[in-house]
Amino acid sequence: MFRTRPLVLVAVALTVVLAACGSSSSDADKTTATQASSSSTTSGAASNAPLKILVSNDDGYSAKGIDTLVEALRQEKGVTVSVVAPNVNRSGSGGKTEDGAVKVTDVKTISGYPAKSVSGYPADAVNIAMNQLDIQPDVVITGINLGPNLGPAVDLSGTVGAARAAVENGVPALATSQGLATVVDYDAALPFILDWLKEHRAAIAAGKEPVAVTNLNVPSCDTGKVRGLEETTADLKGDLGAATAKQDCTSTAAADTLKNDVDLFLNGFATITPVPAKPAA
């Protein structure tokens, strides 16, 4: 009689322990499932959120190039577009900023899209958008500039200067420029811009896109057509005159025989290059 009681007690104790363990495991599973569900919901919400694009330039808010860019981006699904640009043409201003107060005015692009004009430089426009107007973009696209920004012209470019301001504020940027010709063909740049956006969109939305400046230049072809896109390097120490010469879209020079952005562009290729966050000394 006395020997059976401890066995009963042990059995009861084991039952309680096992029940507790089962309950704990179940609760843990429920907690894990809840956390996974919450994580999935949050991830899904983030992936479904509109991609926020800030557009700026150095030719001014009323320029044809920025209007062409904005109207194309507006047609993309799941994006929001904000426009903040200089009130007048500020070409060739690089990364300059105003020392004093800058005025911000409500304006509209050529096609009537709401925008903000800034009485300062392109870099001011991006800085004010992000630090005063509370625009927090996922990516900044500048341009489409009137004329190429190649080789040694890169550090003189306000289009690139605005993109560099975006990077200083922690946001990746694409600077876009269109070659000169009898007719400046801004539409020629659009497929390359939109392809870049599609290729990088997932990384941008996930916050995994490198915070860097990418520089895109697209020829305007009086004859022939753009021969394709080439990833290359910028000839930052090259000849400025050569960098602004007329491009030849009928050239038959092979891409692999051309050594940098200027050579490729002048022979009819669109070029895409990484640009240092700071101008060369």
Q: Which of 10-14, 46-50, 191-195 has the weakest average pLDDT? A: 10-14
Q: How many other β-carbons are positioned within 10 Å of the β-carbon of residue 183? A: 9
Q: How many other β-carbons are positioned within 10 Å of the β-carbon of residue 260? A: 18
The whole model's pTM is what?
0.83
State the average pLDDT over residues 165-186: 96
Cβ 252 vs Cβ 211: under 8 Å: no
CA–CA distance, 83 with 143 (Å, rounded to integer): 11
pLDDT higher than 50, residue 8: no
Instruction: Write down the pLDDT at residue 280.
Output: 76
Angle at which helix 158-168 crosses helix 122-131, to 10 degrees, equals 30
Residue 150, SS3 per DSSP = coil
CA–CA distance, 50 with 53 (Å, rounded to integer): 9
Percent of the chain with pLDDT over 90: 77
**Alpha helix (H) residue ranges in 137-189:** 158-168
CB burial readout 163-178, b (16+ within 10 A) else e: bbbbbbbebbbbbbbb
Please state the domain extents for the chain.
Answer: 1-48, 52-275
- Convert the pLDDT of each residue in 58-113 to its tens digit: 999 999 999 999 999 999 999 999 999 999 999 999 999 999 999 999 999 999 99
Q: What angle do CA 186, 159, 204 make, to 5 degrees?
A: 85
Instruction: Write down the pLDDT at residue 32.
Output: 45
Q: What is the CATH T-level fold of the domain 52-275, as seen in this structure?
A: Stationary-phase Survival Protein Sure Homolog; Chain: A, (3.40.1210)
pLDDT higher than 60, residue 45: no
CA–CA distance, 123 with 92 (Å, rounded to integer): 12
Cβ 130 vs Cβ 54: under 8 Å: yes
